[in-house]
Structure 1
């Protein structure tokens, strides 16, 4: 029988190469709201939500002042940040709107709703929330019916009023 990873396995953190640490901290901490946990010299920082040791590591070890990676190359497509509720996603989206920060997309995937954007180094970022499992759409055979449909951004914004 093929090995199956344990059900409760989670992806614990990501570590991103950035060109400018202060600029990256401005995006992830000041705009998205992560908390700076510690720095590692002048070239790396570790940030989190809720006091975890780190959800995101940022460093300039190989990338200081470098241009973004080419779009048409292998590598990270996006980092996905899961919010606990739709209202939490709405608050994050409202912050982007108020900061006039460009989004690259917004989708309803049936199982989740997502906002897409790029960080200052052009790393893709997905901000999303999952619908409750019992609300996930299913095909007649019981498998998931995931899709990509336009997200009603006005309705999402109303969640945070």
Structure 2
């Protein structure tokens, strides 16, 4: 029996275990600009872009003062945050660079442009925007051909002006 998920389905939020709530808020709220929607006691907080109940949940329920998860084990690879426009991605890239926040990568995937970094608990974070669908690389048979190529960082930063 085959089932296909409805095309309108979206991933609503990610909930992360963190070791220090305030340190994580400095990253997600103060640096990336998410808004606090609700504190859940002193062990969790829910963050949003644009007033949604939450896009990101942070908690210390099982992880307070713990070290980061080992890299070479199963688990979350990264959380991807989709920006509406290339200019929006450029603005956050400029902000990260001005804060001297370390990036772990930057790629042009043909369908999108992305920058990569880790949050304070070494959870991977991808910040990206999707190119218009008409620009996506398609082969002769109509198959999507995503790539990982060097991102034109200088060209992207010109959009931040």
Q: TM-score, normalised by structure 1?
A: 0.99
* Aligned residue in 2 for 1:91: 91
Q: Please give the per-residue CA displacement for 1:49-81, whole angstroms capped at 9, x wherever unaligned.
A: 000000000000000000000000000000000
Alignment length (residue pairs): 161
* Aligned residue in 2 for 1:78: 78
* Aligned residue in 1 for 2:126: 126
Stretches (4+) displaced over 4 A: none
* Aligned residue in 2 for 1:47: 47
Measure the CA separation in 2 of the matches of 1:75 and 1:106: 22
Structure 2, unmatched stretches of 5+, are none
Instruction: Please report how far the alpha carbon of residue 2 of structure 1 lies from its aligned counterpart in structure 2 after TM superposition.
Output: 1.5
Measure the CA separation in 2 of the matches of 1:8 and 1:139: 26
> SS of the residue aligned with 1:104?
strand
Q: TM-score, normalised by structure 2?
A: 0.99
Structure 1, unmatched stretches of 5+, are none
Measure the CA separation in 2 of the matches of 1:2 and 1:138: 27
Measure the CA separation in 1 of the matches of 2:36 and 2:8: 27
* Aligned residue in 2 for 1:100: 100
RMSD between aligned residues: 0.6
